[in-house]
């Protein structure tokens, strides 16, 4: 009986964790991504956060926001990562900036889903060429220099194109959120 009860509790925990993770991981992923330049390192660190959170889920105080807990874990992981980078003489984000962005991401959690929904709508209206560029940059992980080489453009002109696409997407998202509210 005791074993069954524990197993039930454990199953419930895992389901609860999975649901919470799926609802909040975009915020923590965005927080890590903005803090680390290397896309692959960011993915690894997100995975570490997921692993640590799942292992320590029993310590999570459910009266508090899950996103704040996750970002707290991510923050410590990032500090470790930064220390390691600094030993290799790689310049990393200032600790004050990290703190400010952690707080901002916690505040942004509630809006994250609506933002992503709006973004989905906006991206549907992007011309295929721009979608390709975004895919190369943000999914495949090519640098702007690599994209420039592939497209025969200069990296500065590619940077400018990216700036305009992202700016337009951001404006489109804000407009849609404005309409929704």
Partner 1 sequence: MKSAQPHDEWVYAFLDGELSEQQAAVVEAWIVSAPENADYVASLAILMHGIGEEFKRDEISNIWQELSDLEPDAEHIQLVDITNRVDEKKKLAPAPAPAMDADRRGKKVIVIPRSVAWLTAAAILLFGLWVAVPRIDEDPGSGADDSQITQAPRLEVQEMPVVALLEGAFNVRWGQAGDTGTGDTELEAGSEIRAGQRLVLERGVAQIQSHRGAVVVLEGPCEIAFVDEHRVRLAYGRIVGKCPTSDSKGFTVDTPSATIVDLGTEFGVHTTSEGLTEVHVMTGKVSLAPRTADNEASEVELGAGRGGIVTSGSSQIVEIESTPAQFVSSLEDASSNAMQQYVSSVTSLNPLVYYRFESLAGGVAINEMGSKYFGFADGAVSTVRIGSVGNAASFSSDQAGHIRVDQTISELRNAEAYTIECWAKPNNALAIYGSLVSMTTPEREALAASGLVLHGLSEEAGAERGLLRFYHRNPPSSETGTEVYSQRRWAVDQWMHIAAVKDRTSAKLYINGELVAVLDDTTAFPDTEFVTKIGIHQTQPEARQKRPYEGLIDEVAIYDRALTVNDIESHYNKMRYLLNEDSSRPIGD
**Interface of this chain with partner 1, residues 87 to 116, rule: CB under 8 A:** 87, 89, 91, 93-94, 96-97, 99-101, 103-105, 107-108, 111-112, 115-116
Cβ proximity to partner 1: between 64 and 113 the closer is: 113
Spell out the alpha helix ranges (H) of the chain: 2-35, 39-55, 66-87, 95-124, 128-135, 144-151, 155-180
CB 174 within 8 A of CB 149: no
* Binding of partner 1 by 84 (CB under 8 A): no
Q: How many other CB atoms sit within 10 Å of the CB of residue 126? A: 16
Token pair listed for 72: 């707290």
* Residue whose token pair is 């508090």: 64
Q: Which of residues 48-77 bind partner 1 (CB under 8 A)?
A: 50-51, 54
* Binding of partner 1 by 126 (CB under 8 A): yes
Token pair listed for 80: 């470790």
Q: How many other CB atoms sit within 10 Å of the CB of residue 165? A: 18
Cβ proximity to partner 1: between 62 and 86 the closer is: 86
By CB under 8 A, which span of 1-9, 62-70, 72-80, 167-175 interacts with partner 1?
A: 167-175
Give the contact letters, 3-42, x = binds to partner 1 (CB under 8 A), - = no. -----------xx-xxx-xx--xxx-xxx-xx-xxx-x--
3, 124, 128, 181: which one contacts partner 1 (CB under 8 A)? 124
């Amino acid at each position: 009986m005791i074993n069954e009860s524990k197993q039930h509790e454990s199953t419930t925990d895992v389901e609860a964790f999975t649901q919470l993770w799926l609802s909040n991981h975009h915020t923590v992923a965005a927080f890590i991504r903005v803090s680390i330049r290397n896309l692959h390192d960011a993915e690894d660190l997100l995975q570490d956060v997921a692993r640590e959170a799942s292992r320590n889920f029993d310590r999570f105080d459910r009266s508090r926001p899950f996103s704040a807990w996750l970002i707290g874990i991510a923050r410590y992981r990032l500090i470790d990562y930064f220390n390691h980078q600094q030993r290799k003489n790689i310049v990393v984000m200032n600790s004050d900036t990290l703190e400010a962005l952690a707080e901002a991401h916690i505040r942004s959690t509630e809006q994250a889903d609506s933002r992503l929904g709006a973004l989905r709508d906006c991206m549907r209206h992007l011309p295929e060429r721009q979608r390709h560029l975004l895919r190369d940059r943000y999914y495949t992980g090519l640098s702007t220099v690599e994209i420039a080489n592939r497209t025969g453009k200069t990296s500065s002109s590619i940077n400018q194109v990216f700036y305009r696409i992202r700016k337009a997407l951001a404006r489109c998202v804000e407009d849609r959120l404005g309409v929704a509210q």
